[in-house]
Amino acid sequence: MADFINSLGITSPTIHFNKDSEFYINETVNSGRGTLSKDGALSVNTGKFTGRAAKDKYVVKSARTESTVWWENDVNVMTPDQFGKLKDKIISFLNSQETVYSTERCIGAHATHNLGVRLVTTGSSHALFSLNMFRDSVRDFDTKKDFTILHAPGLEVNPSEFGTKSPTVITTCFDTNTVLICGTFYAGEIKKSVFSILNYILPELGILPMHAGANKSENETSVFFGLSGTGKTTLSTDEGRLLVGDDEHGLSDEGVFNFEGGCYAKTIALSKKNEPGIWAATNRRGAMVENVVMSEEGEFDFDDDSICENGRSSYPLSFIDSVEPSHAGGVPKDIFFLTADAFGVLPPVSRLTRDQALFYFVLGYTAKVAGTEAGITEPTATFSACFGAPFMLRHPSEYAKLLGEYIDRHGIKVWLINTGWTAGPYGEGHRYPIPVTRNIIRSVQSGKMDSTDFRVDEIFNLELPTSVEGIDNDVLHPHKSWKSQESYQEKAKSLARSFHTQMEKFGDFYTAIKDSGPHS
> Would you name the residues annotated as active-site residues?
52, 192, 211, 228, 232-233, 247, 312
Identify which of 154, 205, 206, 141 has the alpha carbon closest to the alpha carbon of residue 182.
Answer: 154
- Asked whether the CA dihedral 440, 445, 448, 452 is positive or negative, the reply is positive
Please name every residue paired with 413 in a beta bridge, in sequence order, or none if there are none: 334
* CA distances from residue 221 to 211, 422, 444 in whole angstroms, order as listed: 16, 29, 12
235, 224 Cβ separation under 8 angstroms: yes
Q: Which amino acid, 488?
A: Y
Q: How far apart are CA 180 and CA 120, in angstroms?
A: 10
Q: Tell me phi and psi for residue 361, to 5 degrees.
A: -65, -50
350, 463 Cβ separation under 8 angstroms: yes
Q: What is the SS3 assignment for 336?
A: strand
278, 311 Cβ separation under 8 angstroms: no
Q: How far apart are CA 421 and CA 437, in angstroms?
A: 12
Alpha-carbon 390 to chain mean position = 10
Cβ atoms within 10 A of the Cβ of 175, count? 12
Q: Which amino acid, 352?
A: L
- Asked whether the CA dihedral 489, 372, 415, 394 is positive or negative, the reply is positive
Burial class (CB in 10 A: 0-12, 13-18, 19+), 445: buried
Q: What is the SS3 assignment for 337?
A: strand
Contacts of range 470-478, beta carbons closer than 8 Å, 24 or more positions apart: 470/439, 470/443, 471/436, 471/439, 471/440, 475/348, 475/422, 475/436, 476/347, 476/348, 476/349, 477/347, 478/344, 478/345, 478/346, 478/347, 478/348, 478/422
110, 328 Cβ separation under 8 angstroms: yes
259, 107 Cβ separation under 8 angstroms: yes
Q: How far apart are CA 143 and CA 49, in angstroms?
A: 31
